[in-house]
Amino acid sequence: MVIVMKLDATEKDIAKVEEKLAEHGFRAHLIRGVERIVIGAVGEKKREVVIDSLEMLPQVEKVVPIMSPYKLVSHTVKREKTLIDLGDGVVVGGKEIVVMAGPCAVENEENLCEVAEKVATAGAKVLRGGAFKPRTSPYSFQGLEEKGLEMMARARERTGLKIVTEIINAQDVPLVSAYADILQVGARNMQNFTLLKELGKQNRPVLLKRGLSATIEEWLMAAEYILSEGNYNVILCERGIRTFEQYTRNTLDVSAIPLVNIYSHLPVIADPSHSSGERRLVPALSRAAVAAGADGLLVEVHPYPEKALCDGPQSLTPQDFSLLMADLRKVALACGRTLTTADESAEGV
């Protein structure tokens, strides 16, 4: 349920509501929105008794039951979009489309720094790259682990890009958190609830990819695990779902983007690279995602895709990425959004 406080409610009034909730076995989550202060209450006890007692408190405006299975993720708790501030003016969920780009896997420092510099020049704000790579085959390249994280940190120092990288085990959370600006949960781990709970205890933004066969409700419920532990900085990522289609690696569910914007306050981005598995489709899917309301994109870029150790066929070259960014800017402007491109990056915009 959601307890909506009156506009003149004090910290003492809020504490009184939180105390009352604790008495009845509910966990309180204070959410300060632009228009109102609300307290999300999560628990398994009967609501009726606590609702009656809360409505008697003078600074409580109203108590609203949340009917959806996801509570803290719901628009009922927070009307306005959550903004994920990565620092240095990079905000996911605002007017600007934030593009995250880089190789699927960190292979060596030379290639990583080359692609980092080029995507930064083209307007990307976040460098993506996997140091830990869960693969379908145990014989495929599994990543450089901490060495890869160190390389990404040095690339950040050279370019000013934020970094996002995947985390696959709960025990690795302290290590990856020490390097990454955004902790990515891959599709295979969307329902790794032990990992989600641990990430919920961190003070780091989490990028949560949709599972290969997950419904939108299951995806939002996975996000609920993170928020329920106290971390409200979650970015949802539509990365394509498994269907019967054979011509693409996965099927980008474009409809998921506006649906998430209807049901949740969390920002949502799209991954056109994993959705298609085919670099020729990445520009069209990127345009479609931005037009559908995505707050950003996660694009794979490699300086030499034909030599890539992971996902070369779906990786753009830096030159093609720069062309994509210029093309996307037109779509963003048509949708009332903004997008930094190569010319603006050179000017320091």
Mean of the pLDDT values across residues 152-163? 97
pTM of the entire predicted model? 0.91
Report domain extents, the chain. 2-64, 84-346
154: left (phi over 0), alpha (psi -120 to 50) or beta: alpha
Three-class SS string for the chain? CEEEECCCCCHHHHHHHHHHHHHCCCEEEEEECCCCEEEEEECCCCHHHHHHHHHCCCCEEEEECCCCCCCCCECCCCCCCCCEEEECCEEECCCECEEEEECCECCCHHHHHHHHHHHHHHCCCEEECECCCCCCCCCCCCCCCHHHHHHHHHHHHHHCCEEEEECCCHHHHHHHHCCCCEEEECHHHCCCHHHHHHHCCCCCCEEEECCCCCCHHHHHHHHHHHHHCCCCCEEEEECCECCCCCCCCCECCCCHHHHHHHHECCCEEECHHHHHCCHHHHHHHHHHHHHHCCCEEEEEECCCHHHCCCCHHHCECHHHHHHHHHHHHHHHHHCCCECCCHHHHHCCC
**Least reliable range by pLDDT among 32-36, 183-187, 222-226, 315-319:** 32-36
pLDDT value of residue 138:
72
The answer to whether the CB of 339 falls within 8 A of the CB of 97 is yes
Strands 162-166, 84-87: pairing kind: unpaired
Across-strand partners of 236? 208, 268
CATH superfamily of 2-64: Phospho-2-dehydro-3-deoxyheptonate aldolase; domain 1 (3.30.70.1140)
The rounded percent of the chain whose pLDDT value lies above 70 is 95
Q: How confident is the model at residue 23 (pLDDT cuts 50, 70, 90)?
A: confident
Comparing 2-64 with 84-346, is the CATH topology the same? no
* Confidence check: pLDDT of 33 > 80: no
- Protein fold of 84-346: TIM Barrel (3.20.20)
In the chain, % of residues over pLDDT 90: 76
Residue 46 has pLDDT above 70, yes or no: no
Q: What is the pLDDT of residues 191-242, one digit of tens each?
A: 999 999 999 999 999 999 999 999 999 999 999 999 999 999 999 999 999 9
What digits encode the pLDDT tens for the residues 278-290? 999 999 999 999 9
- Tens of pLDDT along 245-266? 999 999 999 999 999 999 999 9
Sign for the pseudo-dihedral over CA of 143, 86, 289, 127: negative
